[in-house]
Amino acid sequence: MSWSKLKQQLESFLSPSLQGKVEYRATGYRYLPDKAGICYIAVDKKNILNMSDATTFITWYQSEQEIKNDSGIDIPIGHEQIEAVRMNMQGKIPEDRLIAIARSRAISQLAKELWAAQSSLSKSNFMDAANTFLSSSIEDSLESNDILLNIMALIDRRVGKKRILNMSEKIKLKHPAVQYFFDLRLGKL
């Protein structure tokens, strides 16, 4: 599918509150075949989500350690995770240490998922994600680990505000770009 048709279809699914505010854009290099081009999502004519561009104000993590050290990431630890650590350790470990170990494991897992999700964003991946989004259910896009599918689903008119509000805990575990578009949809920005 050509970019213009794809863009038209994507923008037809935008939430009414975001019509004219959010725009999908792409550049291509006609005479440079080794350049894949850049796709980005603009909000109020500002490039908000440049695919794999570290110059935007949304945090793009360069390493797993950056994610682990980010104080803005708050991961809730459940009783099951603490019990799993207790079973693995097979010894007497203080409760606060069990919680710290469980949190460390959860952050490591989240870091790997976030870094993998953002590591290969490019124009071709954007086109693939857009086609996947248009051909799959909105639930699949919301539950996906793909940053782009999450963003496209959050700003979609088929997802109501009540449903978005119910997702607030899950969104805390998503990439900062997904969190930005979550806040945008709720009108916090």
User: Region 164-186: what's the mean pLDDT?
Assistant: 89
Beta bridge partners of 169: none
Extents of the domains making up the chain:
3-52+120-186, 64-117
User: Cα dist. 156→11, 109, 160, 174 in Å?
Assistant: 9, 28, 9, 18
The predicted pLDDT at position 136 comes to 93
Neighbour order of strands in the sheet with 46-50: 22-27, 38-43, 46-50
The predicted pLDDT at position 153 comes to 93
pLDDT digits (tens, 9 = 90+) for 4-54: 898 899 999 999 999 999 998 877 666 555 555 677 788 998 888 776 444
The predicted pLDDT at position 135 comes to 94
Amino acid of residue 19: Q
